[in-house]
Amino acid sequence: MKNFYITTAIDYANGSPHLGHAYEKVLTDVIARYKRLCGENVRFLTGLDEHGQKVQQSARKAGIEPIAFCDAQAEKFRELCRLLNISNDDYIRTTQERHKKVVRQLLQKLFDKGEIYKAQYKGFYSARQEQFLLEKDKNEDGTWPEIFGEVVEITESNYFFKIGKYQEWLVKYISSHEDFIFPRFRAKQVLEFLKEPLNDLCISRPKERLEWGIPLPFDENYVTYVWFDALVNYISAIGYGEPDFEKNWPANFHVIGKDILVPPHAVYWPIMLKALGIEIPQSLLVHGWWLSSGEKMSKSLGNIVNPLDLISQFGTDPFRYFLMREMNVGQDSDFSADQFLTRYTSDLGNDLGNLVSRTLNMSHRYCEGVVKAQQIDEEPEQTLRNLWGQTADAAMQMYEGMQFHTALETAFNFIRAINRYAEQRAPWKLAKSEDPQDKLRLETSLACMAEGLRLAAVLLAPIMPQVSEKILNLLGQKSAEKFEGNLAWGQSLLGAKLAPQEILFPRLQK
């Protein structure tokens, strides 16, 4: 059986991890965990993009070798993965031999096929973006946009990859493969870009300008253009050319931000693969940006939200919950600390946390801490059980369609419904009654609350794996490995011994 292979973009080594990086990893992790729970074999890759001018400059500034600089950065980014509880199977660094070897192999292959040629190039170059610019990149008043930094005119010989000849093929491919770009509206942007003739891609940088890169196998005076280098990570990490390659390739999803769709992932990458005779990945999952007061977070604007602060203050799962609850995959979302606190206090603290503690607390007070049989089946039980049926169906469909924010909304509607059920049944009143039927109602109500909680915990496992496991453990259960067999309302908790009361989401000061 082929693995479900999913990747994130590999982060630039020259910056520090921020909310955007954290989001992409969590989003990809949620999909990976969801697929594992659905019974798929998952291969999940993330990593670091280490070559290029900016890294060379940062290392020089710090007075150390580029590789020493990258080692330290890799440690920081991997620490972020650990703190976010990311379940990646592998971490690729573009300075690793396994990667460099494949990049050189592919370049040689394209060169031998006549897909790469040398030519003189005269043009405007942005060192900050490490790219050549065209007239159309200018502002209306003829100046260069701020993002390019200093722009200089240069003449040099370079190697070019004949991507222009694949333009027609690519347009047809994107138009006929509805699943290739998700959400679909992003495909329009790509097709719009492809209305202009595609220039061949300059894939080399002369060594005198840039040393920190992978030397071209056919001309050691040049290093490889960073995007050509970086994109190859998706196949170098799974052993391109080795027998097991096809166990993972083609990738099911490359998860990327909207800024790196056009041209790298939607134009360069499929053309590179096509020219090499390698299958095209199934889907690019393109997410939006986290904004800070309406603007993209960036070093120069000084509006970066540091995920580490939020994780240390609120914990990993509340952070993951917030990211998935607030962002509609594909759209942008504005980060707000107030909104974070509101979600934490009301959804997690008041709705979920409160349900956990009252279920445990009352079960110990009235039922010796043991789950009794559901013996009564009256209107309140039926309503709750029916709602669960609808919740499970809807939420699973939403997971499948990457609608994590609505999946959570649906799950939390159910959690609130269990709390309402508790109010309606009022076990504290039933406990005072002499009527033997009320004793059965009391036991049933606590058993139903525990069962509802178990089901909600299983459903939340992809997004809040630790909270899910914790709740299941409190209910005397192991963590959920698979959805199958665990999502149906039943009496599997009968006789389970519950842990004492526990506060899952302690109150915090603003």
Return the number of the residue (256 or 348) whose C-beta is nearest ligand MSP.
Answer: 256
Cα 166 to Cα 46: distance, rounded to the nearest angstrom: 29
In the complex, what is the shortest distance from the CB of residue 304 to ligand MSP, in angstroms, rounded to a whole number? Answer: 8
Check residue 212 and report its DSSP letter.
Answer: S
Q: How far is CA 44 from CA 26, 92, 129, in A?
A: 12, 11, 29
In the complex, what is the shortest distance from the CB of residue 226 to ligand MSP, in angstroms, rounded to a whole number? Answer: 8
Return the number of the residue (87 or 303) whose C-beta is nearest ligand MSP.
Answer: 303
Using left for φ > 0, alpha for ψ between -120 and 50, and beta otherwise, residue 283 falls in beta
In the complex, what is the shortest distance from the CB of residue 9 to ligand MSP, in angstroms, rounded to a whole number? Answer: 3
Q: Cβ distance 258 to 288 under 8 Å?
A: yes
Return the number of the residue (298 or 383) whose C-beta is nearest ligand MSP.
Answer: 298
In the complex, what is the shortest distance from the CB of residue 130 to ligand MSP, in angstroms, rounded to a whole number? Answer: 11
CA geometry: angle 7, 132, 99, nearest 5 deg:
35
The size of the chain, in residues, is: 510
By beta carbon distance, the residue nearest ligand MSP is: 257
In three-state form (DSSP H/G/I as H, E/B as E, the rest C), the secondary structure along 157-174 is EEEEECCHHHHHHHHHHH
In the complex, what is the shortest distance from the CB of residue 389 to ligand MSP, in angstroms, rounded to a whole number? Answer: 36
Cα 85 to Cα 456: distance, rounded to the nearest angstrom: 20
Return the number of the residue (14 or 445) whose C-beta is nearest ligand MSP.
Answer: 14
Cα 504 to Cα 344: distance, rounded to the nearest angstrom: 11
Return the number of the residue (281 or 353) whose C-beta is nearest ligand MSP.
Answer: 281
Is the preceding omega at residue 506 within 30 degrees of 0, hence cis?
no
What are the φ and ψ backbone dihedral angles of 205, each rounded to 5 degrees? -135, 130
Q: Which amino acid is at 432?
A: K
In the complex, what is the shortest distance from the CB of residue 392 to ligand MSP, in angstroms, rounded to a whole number? Answer: 30
The CA dihedral of 335, 72, 301, 318, to the nearest 10 degrees, is 10
Return the number of the residue (284 or 367) whose C-beta is nearest ligand MSP.
Answer: 284
Return the number of the residue (92 or 448) whose C-beta is nearest ligand MSP.
Answer: 92
In the complex, what is the shortest distance from the CB of residue 376 to ligand MSP, in angstroms, rounded to a whole number? Answer: 49
List interacting residues with ligand MSP (CB under 6 A). 9-12, 20-21, 23-24, 49, 230-231, 233, 256-257, 259-260, 289-290, 296-297
Q: Is residue 383 classed as helix, strand or coil in its secondary structure?
A: helix
